[in-house]
Structures are given as C-alpha cells and as structure tokens.
Amino acid sequence: MNVVLALLVGVLVAAGTWLVLQPRLLHLVLGLGLLGHAANLLVFAAGGARPGIDPAFAPGGSLPAQAADPLPQALILTAIVIGFGATAFVLGLAWRAFRELGDDHLPSWRGSEPPLEDEQTEPRR
C-alpha cells in the first residue's frame, strides 16, 4: 500500500512540477494544485495507512488496536481546507491578471522584473 502511495506521490509531484514549468498561467495554477495533493498524500502515507486496518475509529467509536494514526488525517484535513482557499485565491488572481495583462504567456510578463541590460541605458519614462 505504501509503495502504491509513494508511486502516486511521485507521479503527482512529477506532473505538478512539469505543469508549473509550463509557460501558461492556467498550467501553473493546476500544477500548484497537483503539488498540494501530492503533499497531502505524503502526510497520509506517514500516518501508516495499510490495507486491513481501520482508518481511525471502528464503528461505534471504539479505538481498535490495529488502527491508522488519526493525527495525520486531521493534519491533511487542515491542509486541504487551506489548499482549497489558496487555490480559489490563485484562480481569482490569475483571472484578474489575465484580464489586465491581456495575455497568459508567463515568460512575456516582464513588467515587474528588473529591466534587461539593453533597456537600462535610458531611464524609463
């Protein structure tokens, strides 16, 4: 089970990294989301999730001897909520930036960067 989870985390990180490195704004947003999911799964794996053991509590509320650690699940819940909020904000920001800048091609966004060498000879008007 942990091997499956580890592979899944690896695939998600790879896909997320690839998306983040793409020049399009929407790819960046989706990539950040995937990376977040990968981190959540990694915390889940750290909680010792294995097939055949109870997730946390058995029906009826008793704590069985063979149960997964519930704390990482609480951590993930928190992280999912935070990640959801962050993704919502990033989508709003991306939409606003796309509308104002009129283009979603990230490498051409240089207005907030230090000016390039050849631009620097004259003070910018």
DSSP state of 58: -
Pull the structure tokens for residue 105: 């091609």
For residue 19, state whether it binds other proteins (rule: CB under 8 A): no
Pull the structure tokens for residue 99: 């509308």
Q: Where are the beta strands (DSSP E) in the chain?
A: none
Range 74-93, binding other proteins (CB under 8 A): 75, 78-79, 82, 85-86, 89-90, 93
Tokens 């999912």 label which residue? Answer: 80
For residue 11, state whether it binds other proteins (rule: CB under 8 A): no
Pull the structure tokens for residue 32: 């950040």
Point out which residues bind other proteins (CB under 8 A): 20, 25, 28, 32, 35-36, 38-40, 42-43, 45-48, 71-72, 75, 78-79, 82, 85-86, 89-90, 93-94, 96-97, 100-101, 106, 109, 111-114, 120, 123-124
